[in-house]
Amino acid sequence: MTKIILAGGFGKLGLAIQEGLAATNYEIVGILSGHNHESQYPVWTTRDQITETADIFLDVSTPATVFENAQWAIKHDMAIVIGATGLTEAQVTQLRDQSEHGILIVPNFSLSAVLLMQFAQQAAKYFPDVEIVETHNPKKIDAPSGTAVQTAKLIANERINSAQKTSYGEARGQRVSDIPVHALRLPGYIAQQSVYFGGIDEQLTLTQSTTSRLAFVPGVLRSLAGVEKINDLKIGLDSVL
Ligand SMILES: NC(=O)c1ccc[n+]([C@@H]2O[C@H](COP(=O)([O-])OP(=O)(O)OC[C@H]3O[C@@H](n4cnc5c(N)ncnc54)[C@H](OP(=O)(O)O)[C@@H]3O)[C@@H](O)[C@H]2O)c1
């Protein structure tokens, strides 16, 4: 069994991970959380209280805690998978310099989101005219989503021909790497992203969606398997697929 310390294990993503790891070869030896919770696992509310050792520190806590957690895990000789957002580029560089075991930062655990980005990069070589539409519930603060921004940047890197000039203006979306990105925030809608490519008398649309946090579990399992095979810092689920 591979031993896991889970940070943020009682958040929305953390609870899905607890459920997803239950019948696997990964054993949660304890959970680091902001508050105490009733649990079958030991629960710690500060790093000083952690009594167990583990092979992997899996962090889905908060932007405010992720960097110091990672430094603690490095000091305690663990590989690290980071799903929580919020690390700055300087912090990533610092972790890269300090790493002795693998550190895997995964901004998006969704396999369908990662595959959509790969397919979109392939299509961008042939279809330079492209727009992105992403939908989330109104509680999502950032817009456009980090995944939409990343998708636009990857597409822009792969385009061989330039896109046709189109009009600007508020209704034309926010330009990310010169690609219009449209963000919808509506109750009752699931997390979804579509990439629309237009060619001469033909259209190609790629769509991915996640309907609950359980969608992230297969990507978490691949990340845990992947981090044990690297001994430096890597970013993105695709780096271990
Ligand atoms: N990579 C991905 O695919 C992906 C997907 C979804 C979300 N995320 C990211 O993952 C993080 C968690 O998302 P979420 O939706 O699960 O958020 P959430 O529901 O707000 O959960 C955050 C959890 O962090 C815990 N926490 C607070 N202080 C802590 C500390 N000092 N040490 C350890 N844990 C602490 C909280 O514990 P208490 O409940 O005890 O207060 C809470 O349960 C966010 O950064 C989010 O952006 C990543």
Domain made up of 111-210: CATH architecture: 2-Layer Sandwich (3.30)
Q: Whose CA is nearest to atom 22 of ligand 1?
A: 11
Give the closest residue to 146 by CA, choosing from 187, 122, 196, 110.
Answer: 110
pTM, rounded to two decimals: 0.91
Residue 37 is among the residues annotated as catalytic for this protein: no
CATH code of the domain occupying 2-105+214-240: 3.40.50.720
| Interval between CA 34 and ligand 1 midpoint (Å) | 9
Ligand 1 pocket, 35 CB below 6 A? yes
Where in the chain are the domains?
Answer: 2-105+214-240, 111-210
Q: Whose CA is nearest to atom 27 of ligand 1?
A: 34
Q: Whose CA is nearest to atom 6 of ligand 1?
A: 13
Ligand 1 pocket, 218 CB below 6 A? no
Ligand 1 pocket, 83 CB below 6 A? yes
Ligand 1 pocket, 85 CB below 6 A? yes
Ligand 1 pocket, 33 CB below 6 A? yes
Ligand 1 pocket, 191 CB below 6 A? no
Own/partner pairs, 184-188, CB within 8 angstroms, 24+ separation: 184/133, 184/134, 184/135, 184/136, 185/135, 185/136, 185/137, 185/138, 185/140, 185/143, 186/135, 186/137, 186/138, 187/137, 187/138, 188/137
Please report the pLDDT score of residue 167 as a whole number. Answer: 93
pLDDT in tens, the chain (241 residues): 999 999 999 999 999 999 999 989 999 999 999 999 999 999 999 999 999 999 999 999 999 999 999 999 999 999 999 999 889 999 999 999 999 999 999 999 999 999 999 999 999 999 999 999 999 999 988 899 989 999 999 999 999 999 999 999 999 999 999 999 999 999 999 899 999 999 999 999 999 999 999 999 999 999 999 999 999 999 999 999 9
- Model pLDDT for residues 20-78, shown as the tens digit of each residue: 999 899 999 999 999 999 999 999 999 999 999 999 999 999 999 999 999 999 999 99
Ligand 1 pocket, 111 CB below 6 A? no
237, 222 Cβ separation under 8 angstroms: yes
CA 130 – CA 120 distance, rounded (Å):
10
Ligand 1 mutation pick, 35, 43, 61, 220, max ligand atoms within 8 A of CB:
61
Please report the pLDDT score of residue 141 as a whole number. Answer: 83
Q: What DSSP string describes 98-135?
A: H-SS-EEE-S---HHHHHHHHHHHHHHTT--EEEEEEE
Spot the catalytic one: 37, 75, 140, 229: 140
Spot the catalytic one: 136, 139, 165, 234: 136
Q: Whose CA is nearest to atom 13 of ligand 1?
A: 13
Residue 136 is among the residues annotated as catalytic for this protein: yes
